[in-house]
Structure 1
């Protein structure tokens, strides 16, 4: 599948979300296909963000009851590609999490299927070792300020960007200002899986020009 095809699928999915009479259009028919989907908080001013913090590991969501992080050379290449794209968009990567404007996290769905919807945004509560809100500070949790409904299955990569400088008031949650869902990354060839994953990350940024403005 070409990058143009991936982009077309993403546009078609967004069009369906706008035109459908459903309040929360389902992407379940596509979550096993090679697809790159992105969404954003349309009230966010990305030009106001200058720095970001990105961990050097990827959380693995699977069947293991212990916390697992993907940290090998392939994982570092994926993290490096995300960092490169963010820096190309004008953001500066820093090592002090508490001083960053944006928090960026990557998660890889290894085996199981997970869902997230605007009717139940705290989908990660079903997975006890997901990046906890406390990792990003004294927030009660976080949320998507836009309508979203995803189905994740094996081979999906999740990329989320949180506004760490949002005004903190009692009961307020940390907003996710941009996210990407990349699926259909698994084949029988490990090197091809890595290539598809890197292409998907690049495509996620290519179809998000507002990050570069």
Structure 2
């Protein structure tokens, strides 16, 4: 056995010994990051959408049976981020809800969990005091044109793009063209929560390139 081969064997044994002493990568810190999930109607023609309407507050889905809206400076900053990203994508904001092609609904889930499925898309059905599809027009409920199953947990922000130009008739459902679920936003630091929320909203648009006109 020549010297060069001996060196190769020694090096291989050294690497193996080093690797065997290393711990498996820890996944304990993964829960510290937020989650941004997005989905869309693959049949939607986003380039045909021109105008959008977004309310001046964020709906709170919680344990209260009273209507709750989030309207402070933090809420305005979050809405402002949505407006900024929508405008940058080529859409025009309008204050006339009836003239808008789509509506952007923002909802914040606090200390409750819901599961969304194709068969029961109106996920806050048991909270009639909150915004209903009727807020947007003569609609019977929500309709996702794709199957969706996941949980909304405490500290989650929901973004939904609703098709307001579809034919409105009794019993017809309001189609959700784009949907984003942002989870894991709550920490013990209020300022950090806001930073994470703003960053997550931007990420939702960044990972949805099909929204750009």
TM-score (norm 2): 0.82
Q: What is the Cα deviation at residue 31 of structure 1? A: 9.8
Q: Which residue in 1 is equivalent to 2:45? A: 45
Aligned to 1:125, what secondary structure does the other structure show?
Answer: coil
Task: Find the aligned partners of 1:179 and 1:188 in 2 and give their Cα distance.
Answer: 27
Contact 2:139 2:169 in 1 (8 A): no
Residue 190 and residue 59 in structure 1: after superposition, are their counterparts in 2 closer, same or farther (change >3 A)?
same
Q: Which residue in 2 is equivalent to 1:19? A: none
Deviations 1:59-92 (A, max 9, x none): 1111111101000000000000001000000000
Q: After alignment, is 140-149 or 154-163 more displaced?
A: 140-149
Task: Find the aligned partners of 1:110 and 1:32 in 2 and give their Cα distance.
Answer: 18
Residue 44 and residue 156 in structure 1: after superposition, are their counterparts in 2 closer, same or farther (change >3 A)?
same
2:86 is aligned with 1:90: no
Aligned to 1:181, what secondary structure does the other structure show?
Answer: strand
Q: Which residue in 2 is equivalent to 1:171? A: 171
Task: Find the aligned partners of 2:111 and 2:90 in 1 and give their Cα distance.
Answer: 35
Aligned to 2:166, what secondary structure does the other structure show?
Answer: coil
Q: Which residue in 2 is equivalent to 1:143? A: 143
Q: Which residue in 1 is equivalent to 2:11? A: none
Task: Find the aligned partners of 1:31 and 1:159 in 2 and give their Cα distance.
Answer: 22
Q: What is the Cα deviation at residue 190 of structure 1? A: 0.3
Q: Which residue in 1 is equivalent to 2:212? A: 212
Q: Which residue in 2 is equivalent to 1:113? A: 113
Gap runs ≥5 in structure 2: 1-29
Aligned to 2:124, what secondary structure does the other structure show?
Answer: helix
Aligned to 1:130, what secondary structure does the other structure show?
Answer: coil
Task: Find the aligned partners of 1:32 and 1:60 in 2 and give their Cα distance.
Answer: 23
Q: What is the Cα deviation at residue 172 of structure 1? A: 2.2
Contact 1:41 1:145 in 2 (8 A): yes
Gap runs ≥5 in structure 1: 1-29
Cα RMSD of the aligned pairs, angstroms, is 1.7
Q: Which residue in 2 is equivalent to 1:70? A: 70
Task: Find the aligned partners of 2:95 and 2:119 in 1 and give their Cα distance.
Answer: 35
Contact 1:89 1:212 in 2 (8 A): yes
Task: Find the aligned partners of 1:120 and 1:55 in 2 and give their Cα distance.
Answer: 24
The number of residues matched between the two structures is 184
Q: What is the Cα deviation at residue 185 of structure 1? A: 0.2
Instruction: Choose 1 or 2 for highest CA Rg.
Output: 2
Contact 2:138 2:170 in 1 (8 A): no
Aligned to 2:125, what secondary structure does the other structure show?
Answer: helix
Deviations 1:150-185 (A, max 9, x none): 201110000001010012345321100001000000
